[in-house]
Structures are given as structure tokens and as C-alpha cells.
Structure 1
């Protein structure tokens, strides 16, 4: 039995995908999330096999960044993107960052099911309505040139969970409650983030996050 997490900021989309997945033998949706931050936090619990996720779930971390983070630290989890974006930029980045499949929301339900089952087998899947050029293949192989997030990825897992919450205006107390840590630990993470990114103010942190496309609002 494959345990599936469905992530989308629209409840009706989550409901539709959940119902569709639960109709398939050997698959069950055990979690639903509405933001990329919550996807990453939930994935850490260790019981998720497949994530079906949108790329744009504001407010919060850019879905492309979340994919990279999960793939690097939880490579056993298979990620299938389910998005309205058919632009090659999004598709290429998602696959390069670790997504195993990409299905368009404009496609039929059969596309999503084919993608789900192929990804479950450990095989990559691209929606049949997506045209892949030689340039796309080169981008996927060599990586995107403008999403420079090496400094961000050098942060610890917890620091990368804290950063978008800081940028979105959560208080220390709210961050602590969301991540099940103490406010003193949140303060320590904040200090480490500012030091590692060589930033001096909250305003600089906000500019950094938006400049590097780390946050969706």
C-alpha cells in the first residue's frame, strides 16, 4: 500500500485528487496539506511514499525549493507535480530539483493516474501534453541557471523551515508552535540564518527571499 500526501492550496482540488487516488488499488491518501512548508514538515514524519503537489501554494516556500529540499533529505519519497503551469521553465526546474513526474491540471484524470502509477514504480513521467525539446533536456541535465540557492540550501533543515515563516511575518511564538520547538530555539535559528546568509536586517532577509524566488505570496 502506497501512502500518498496531496498538497494544493485549493480544498476542492485536494478533495478531487484524494477521491481519485483512493479509488486506485494499493494507494491511499493519508495526509492533505495546503502549503509547501507544511508539506516538508509532514514529509519528515517518515510515513509518506508519494507526494502529489502543486508548485504554487501561497503563502510560503516556493514549491521548486521544497521539491529540492525533500529530494535531497528524503530521496525515498517520490514527488509528482500536479500544476496549471505548462511553461518549460517550471517543468524543467521541477524535474531537475528532484520531481519524478509532472502532470498538468488541464489534462484528463487518466493522465494523473498514469503519472501516479509510473512514479510509484520508480519511473519518471511527463504528461503526454507536454512537449520536451532538446533545450529542455539540456536544462534538466545541467540545471537552471538563475535559481541560485546554494547559500539557502546550506542552511540546516530546521533553519530552512524557519526562514519562510520569518519572511511571512510569523512571530517567534507562532513559529515555535508550528514547528513544535521552543521560542529560544527559534531565536537561535534566526540568528544562525542571518549569520550564514550574511544579512544584517529583517528587510534584507525579505529581499533575499524574494530575489532568490524562495517565497510565494
Structure 2
């Protein structure tokens, strides 16, 4: 989306809010509307209205409640998946994070999954990240995805060798990340600055050959680092 009247200059990310609770929508407007890089272009109170608004407004990003009347968030994602024209990137918002909901939403193309009690800064960062094309999962959601995939785990010698190449500090940071801790929480636990935590995780991603927290966390689990580890 380009800034009106300024060819070639990126404008704010257009956001549509779809949630059946007016108070939630109002809160999201206050949180997201205060950031100059985002613009709330509309809202809807159920999934059917949300789909109509998506067709009319063509937002960049949709914040989508997973539990709604008429059509729930999963049904909306299914409809968007079957569209011929490109769909907006969707961040699913929920107070629940059951295995089935998370995996179904991700399989149907959700670019992000956040709990409704996420910090304002986390929500703003999530919208901007998915607009850039980066997937976003709250730490609690990450642990759910890993747990759901645990039954399908298979030993992979390449993963084991990559994990073995981690230093002690990188391994500790990777394990804490795989348990769902945020970077700030990892820093507190390891007595490291946020910048140092990020640097350690960047090296972890590089050594494991992955580009996101979920893939890294699953590699850590596949290598057996979470088995019997102290919590």
C-alpha cells in the first residue's frame, strides 16, 4: 500500500478487525491505531461480515477472532484459502490455544497466531511482521505446535549433528525458546541482555538451518534436548 499522493512511498499497513466483542475491537483500535505505521480501515462483528469487508476494503492484514457467530475464524480462513485472488495476511486472535485450532488455522494459511492478552507492543510487531511475510506465533502457541507434533517425531541424524554443534549458551537459549519463553524471559533466566539473547538465537537458527522459532524449537525437541530437562 502506497501513501496517498506520494508515488512509490510505502503507506501505513491497512488493518481490518474481525471480532464479535465490541470491547475487544475498541481495545485493538486503541492499541494499533496509535502506531503511525498502521491504519485501521474497518471492523466486523462476525465472520460473514468480515469476509464482506475483506472483499470491499482489501486490507493488508486481518486480525481475526477464532470464536465468532455466523462464521468462526477457522471457517473464514477456509474461505480465504479457496479465493482465486490473493488474500490478506491473517493474524488469528484467541483466548484459547487448543491443538486442533492452532494446527487447523496454520494449515489454512494463518500467518500469525496471538493470544488476546498479548502485550500491545507484541500485537503491533506481529501485524508488521506478517505484512513483511514473516510468520508470528506467541510463545504459548509455539509450545502447543511442538506438543501437537511430538507424536510424529522421528530421529534425524542431520538434526542431531546440527544441535551438537551448538555451544552451551546457545543450547540453553534454544531449550528455553523451545519451552515457549520470550526473548526477554530467556534473558532474565540466563542473566543476559536482550541483544545477547537475540544474537545467540540468530546463531542457533543459522546452525540448525532454519529461519523461525517454531522450526528451531521442533529441531531442539527432535534432538531430545527437552526430554527430562529441568524446568
The reply to whether TM is greater than 0.5 is: yes
Take 2:101 and 2:132, find their aligned partners in 1: how far apart are those partners?
Answer: 24
For 1:138 and 1:67, locate their aligned partners in 2 and report how far apart those are by CA, in whole Å.
Answer: 26
Task: Give 1:77's aligned residue.
Answer: 88
In the comparison of the two structures, how many residue pairs are matched? 138
Provide the TM-score with structure 2 as the length reference: 0.55
Residues 58, 88 of structure 2: 8 Å contact kept: no
Residue in structure 1 matching 2:149, options 132, 136, 140? 136
Distance 1:3 1:55 in 2: 20
Aligned-pair Cα RMSD in Å: 2.0
Gaps of 5+ in 2: 1-11, 153-231
- Which structure is higher in RCO with an 8 Å CA cutoff and minimum separation 6? 1
1:156-175 alignment, distance < 5 Å: none
- 1:5 to partner: Cα distance: 0.4
Shift of 1:134: 6.2
User: Which of the numbers 123, 129, 133 marks the counterpart of 1:122?
Assistant: 133
Distance in 1 of aligned mates of 2:91 and 2:56 = 19
SS at the partner of 1:69?
helix
Q: Quote the residue 2:29 is aligned against.
A: 18
TM-score, normalised relative to structure 1: 0.59
Alignment of 1:43-54 (within 5 A): 43-54=54-65
Q: State how far apart, in whole Å, the 1-side matches of 2:151 and 2:78 are.
A: 18
Which residue of 2 is the match for residue 88 of structure 1? 99
Encode CA deviations 1:53-86: one digit per residue, 9 max, x unaligned.
101111x013212112113314341100111111
How far apart, in 2, do the equivalents of 1:80 and 1:66 lie? 12
Which residue of structure 2 lines up, in the alignment, with residue 100 of structure 1? 111
Distance 1:135 1:87, change over 3 A: closer
Question: Residues 134 and 128 from structure 1, CA distance in 2 versus in 1: closer, same or farther, beyond 3 angstroms?
Answer: closer
What is the deviation of 1:117?
1.4
Q: Is the 8 A contact 2:129 2:135 kept in 1?
A: yes
Q: Is the 8 A contact 2:65 2:72 kept in 1?
A: no
Residue of structure 1 aligned with 2:71, choices 61, 78, 82 = 61
Tell me if 1:42 matches 2:53: yes
